[in-house]
Amino acid sequence: MKIFKMTLLAALISSPLAAENIDKTWELGVFGDYIKSSTNKEMDTYWQEIEAGKSIGLDLQKIINDSWNVRFELAKSRYEVNNGADRDYGTRFGVDAIYKIEESDFYLFSGVKRFNNIRNYTAVDVGAGYSHQVSDRFSLYGEAVAYRDIDYGFTDQGFKLGVKYAFGEERKAPVSAKPQPQPVAPVSKPDPLDSDNDGVINSEDRCENTPANVKVDSTGCTLYSEKTVEVNLNVTFANNSAEINSSVVNDIQRLADFMKEYTNTNVLIEGHSSAVGDAAYNLTLSQKRADAVKAVLMSTFNIDADRLTTKGFGETQLVAEGNTSADHRMNRRVVAKIETTVKEAVTK
């Protein structure tokens, strides 16, 4: 036991903890253990009332892969017998299969052992252990195990502590590759500014801040299309009258609104009459009718006089050639038409 303690101490004070840099092939262990005999053995004179046993031993493990090892074990034991009055010596040898739990220092094992002490017998063992790496080659380990005697049917328990030395070649440190020079990314020029997002950069944009919903030309100015707008007036009068009926004021207002919207427009107001009566009289009456509409545009809707022209045509431009009252009513009229061309922004 003194040799075992000295070996264990040497392992503990050896180099500090390190990652494994060894490709392990074999491990040689030195251990000490304590075996507690079955209570039935302690009371059985056939077994000389055998009690606890202490052992020192060697084990040799073959590293198969990351999950499995095979271990061969040989131990020399001393037992207390006859209620501790005497001692008996024996040996133990056998083999175990060891399963290493993934990403853990714990492991499980099971095997067969041959005991030669008071009686010679074979036992099946099963247990668990923990291995702690203290340097590249040295590690400490501890185990708890149960031995089932297949010859006599007794079960003993054991506890083991040991130190192992690993055999194998040192792993070569990876040669770090020389860093390759990285290509220098070309300095990219910032995109030219286009503040109003019309597709024409600021340096070429002659019309800043164009609305987002309109199309622009190559200079960044709004594109326009032309269209013709118009308004028509056709109001009728009572027979032999130039008075404005209140029912037609809304029609006259539409004309006035158009002229207010399109301030560049002027209008010719045409007065007409039916063919009933004297032609000269009808010419004068038609002029009065045109002047009456002009007066409403000026007084009621504030249209400037210089934008209004009147002319009476009498019965020279009849729209109905018949001689019925309906025909005469259609001819007693004032008509006007305004047309103008406007520009509209082309939308997207």
**Which residue range(s) make up the domain with 295?**
215-345
Domain assignment present for residue 150? The answer is: yes
Contacts of 127 (CB under 8 A, 6+ apart): 108, 109, 110, 143, 144, 145, 146, 158
Give CA angle at 231 (228, 232), nearest 5°.
130
- DSSP, collapsed to helix, strand or coil, labels residue 26 as strand
Residue 185: per-residue pLDDT = 72
- Model confidence at 17: pLDDT above 50: no
Separation between Cα atoms, residue 61 and residue 225, nearest integer Å: 96
Domain assignment present for residue 292? The answer is: yes
- Could you tell me if 164 and 221 lie in one domain? no
- Could you tell me if 136 and 239 lie in one domain? no
135 contacts 166 by C-beta, under 8 angstroms: no
Domain assignment present for residue 242? The answer is: yes
- Could you tell me if 121 and 6 lie in one domain? yes
- Could you tell me if 124 and 246 lie in one domain? no
- Could you tell me if 140 and 267 lie in one domain? no
What is the pairing mode between strands 308-312 and 333-345? Answer: unpaired
245 contacts 252 by C-beta, under 8 angstroms: no
Domain assignment present for residue 238? The answer is: yes
pLDDT tens-place string over residues 70-92? 999 999 988 776 766 777 788 99
Neighbours of 4 (CB within 10 A): 17
- Could you tell me if 43 and 154 lie in one domain? yes
- Could you tell me if 159 and 252 lie in one domain? no
Contacts of 83 (CB under 8 A, 6+ apart): 49, 51
Of 170, 201, 224, which residue constitutes the final position of a domain? 170
- Could you tell me if 232 and 99 lie in one domain? no
Domain assignment present for residue 203? The answer is: no
Domain assignment present for residue 190? The answer is: no
Q: pTM score > 0.75 for this model? A: no
pLDDT tens-place string over residues 28-55? 999 999 887 776 666 666 666 676 778 9
- Could you tell me if 151 and 290 lie in one domain? no
What is the number of structural domains in the chain? 2
**Residues above pLDDT 70, as percent of the chain:** 88
Mean pLDDT, rounded, for 122-149: 93
pLDDT tens-place string over residues 205-240? 888 888 888 898 889 898 889 989 999 999 999 999
pLDDT tens-place string over residues 285-317? 999 999 999 999 999 999 999 999 999 999 999
What is the number of alpha carbons within 13 Å of residue 126 lying toward its C-beta? 2
